């Protein structure tokens, strides 16, 4: 299992090229991609037929049930200490003078 917290600067790479590279690992079965700017988690899990299922979570009361380990956590608990107001808005560019 791989769990990643996505950063704004590498989100595209992490979700595309990096995830594709992970899938070449035969023992790789599950991946959690956690957004740090909003409540949003993507859970990818590999089926017996070697296909990938995607489940998205967006609500605080939803619980993520892991496929590869006997563990479950709500998004409220996962994001417990996260302050979204401190996160820089998407696309914001700061100027330096």
**pLDDT tens profile 12-43:** 898 999 999 999 999 999 999 999 999 999 99
Fold classification of 2-86 is tt1808, chain A (3.90.1570)
Three-state DSSP at 88 gives coil
Beta bridge mates, 42: 33, 56
Distance CA 8, CA 37 (A): 8
Half-sphere exposure of 83 (CA within 13 A, CB side): 2
List the domain boundaries for the chain.
2-86
pTM recorded for the entire structure: 0.82
**pLDDT tens profile 32-80:** 999 999 999 999 999 999 999 999 999 999 999 999 999 999 999 999 9
């Amino acid at each position: 299992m791989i769990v990643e917290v996505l950063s704004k600067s590498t989100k595209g790479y992490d979700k595309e090229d990096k995830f594709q590279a992970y899938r070449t690992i035969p023992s790789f079965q599950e991946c959690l991609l956690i957004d740090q700017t909003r409540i949003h988690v993507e859970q990818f899990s590999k089926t017996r037929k070697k296909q990938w299922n995607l489940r998205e979570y967006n609500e605080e009361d939803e619980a993520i049930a892991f496929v590869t380990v006997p563990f479950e956590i709500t998004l409220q608990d996962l994001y417990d200490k996260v302050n979204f107001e401190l996160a820089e808005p998407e696309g914001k560019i700061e100027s330096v003078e």
